[in-house]
Structure 1
Amino acid sequence: MTEAHPSGPATDAPLVGVLAVQGDVREHVRALELAGARVRTVRRPAELEGLDGLVVPGGESTTIDRLCRIFGLHEPVRRLVADGLPVYGSCAGMIQLAEEILDGHAEQQSFGGIDMTVRRNAFGRQVDSFESDLHVEGLEDADRPFRAVFIRAPWVERLGADVQVLARADGHPVAVRQGALLATSFHPEVTDDHRVHALFVRMVEQARAAT
């Protein structure tokens, strides 16, 4: 389990977990710490205790799903999502927060929470990875484009009435928010622009202040 080092965020900073069964774990830890959060990597259900927020990283959504069920994390995370814990998912994490998945594995399960339908690998395979400058609603310095990295990325095909679109690429929603849940089909954790993580940390702080 990784906690923020002594020279990192303040001891009263929000504690955000990063689901650490597979994917871009270290990159999210670094971005969250730079955004002012304390961070804990999560591999066991007990490590979910006391979190103010949770990040589901990019990676392989079917592998994340399978390992979460093997390690007993699926149902505890699903309950936390349903109970209103702030959660951010990038790429595979977006898929895990969707209520419906297209082109998924036959037995694939999600945590749910966001009333949307996503299509896996909608932008193409690994060789089709690309970068694009996006205007993402809600970011600090919003007039400055965010350089988004898409790697085997999903897109959103259906949105519920309560889902807010924060950014689009090629006409498709690629950043969305519903209440305390945030999801992007791109990977902000692999860039040096930490404004998406800063947005999520603000969401966590707001949720903590409201309790």
Structure 2
Amino acid sequence: MNSPPTVGVLALQGAFREHKRLLQTFGAHVTEVRLPHQLGGLSGLILPGGESTTIGNLMVEYGLISAIQEFHAAGGAIFGTCAGAILLARTIHGTPPQFGEQPSLDLMDITVQRNAFGRQVDSFRTPLDVSGFETPFPAVFIRAPVIAAVGEGVEVLARHQDQIVLARQGNLLAGSFHPELTGDARIHELFLNMNRSAQAVGSGL
């Protein structure tokens, strides 16, 4: 049996503790990542929900943009949820002008529309049919983006009302919703399986 992977959760802002808790139910070793050197030895990284501009600006300040890009280039798997999906995207629409330019990792060939499902008061939970799952997933949407378009090589895993809300490209996974708030760990299990096929990235990052 394969040993549990060592996974990082970006812990600058947002719901990183909830991701950590779910990962640990599978026996994964979890590291809170705040600085580039903490990516060393990880096979995967979760970018949590939160406020994407705030998280992005902190990533720039702490030198994490290039470090995470190098982590991915070396084979590390990355899962972006809600704000994290925005940070993964190559194209981002809907950033308010007063926020300035939205920092991005520019890794996944997707176009994301911010706040596509409305404001905080428009949050909702809905059963979601996910490719490979036998029963619907209880997805929680909070100021959620939508994946408005995908490029070649991107696999669509779930839609809500014909809008793409979960997609995978190689060892990148992006979701519009918050799986960490549901108590259902199947999407985290999917990500851990992606990690098991990835080799831990060296400590020299």
Q: Report if TM-score (shorter chain) is over 0.5.
A: yes
Please say if 1:122 is aligned against 2:116.
yes
Give CA deviations for 1:41-88 in whole Å, capped at 9, x if unaligned: 001111111111100000000000011111121210122223431000
Separation (CA, whole Å) in 1 of partners of 2:28 and 2:83: 22
| Shift, 1:164, TM fit | 0.4
TM-score, with normalisation over the residues of structure 1?
0.89
Shift of 1:106: 3.0
**Partner in structure 2 of residue 132 of structure 1:** 126
Letter in 2 for 1:67: L
2:103 matched to which residue of 1? 109
With over 3 angstroms needed to count, the CA separation of the structure-2 counterparts of 1:11 and 1:165, relative to structure 1, is closer
> Which of the residues 12, 23, 47 maps onto 1:21?
12
Work out the number of aligned pairs and report it: 197
**Overall identity of the aligned pairs, in %:** 51
User: Which residue of 24, 39, 42 corresponds with 1:33?
Assistant: 24
Instruction: Identify which of structures 1 and 2 has the higher relative contact order when contacts are C-alpha pairs closer than 8 Å and 6+ apart.
Output: 2
Q: If the length of structure 2 is used for normalisation, what is the TM-score?
A: 0.92
Inter-partner Cα distance in structure 2 for 1:11 and 1:198: 14
> How far apart are the structure 2 equivalents of 1:109 and 1:149?
25
* Equivalent position to 2:137, from 141, 146, 162: 146
Aligned to 1:5: none
Contact 2:75/2:199 (CA < 8 Å) preserved in 1? Answer: no
Deviation at 1:157, TM superposition (A): 1.1
Q: Which one of the candidate residues 187, 201, 204 is aligned to 2:195?
A: 204
Q: 2:62 aligns with which of 62, 71, 94?
A: 71
Structure 1 runs not aligned, ≥5 long: 1-9
The CA RMSD over aligned residues, in Å, is 1.6
Specify the code of the residue in structure 2 equivalent to 1:51. Answer: L
| 1:208 CA displacement | 2.9
Hey, what does 2:159 align to over in structure 1?
168
Out of 21-30 and 34-43, give the one that drifted further. Answer: 34-43
- Give me the whole-angstrom Cα distance separating, in 2, the residues matched to 1:207 and 1:70: 28
Contact kept in structure 2, 1:57 and 1:92, CA below 8 Å = yes
Query: Which aligned segments of 4 or more residues in structure 1 are displaced greater than 2 angstroms?
Result: 81-84
Measured after TM superposition, the shift of residue 11 of structure 1 is: 10
Partner of 2:203: none
| Residue number in structure 2 paired with 1:3 | none
Cα gap change, 1:149/1:171 in structure 2, threshold over 3 Å: closer, same or farther? same
AA matched with 1:35:
F
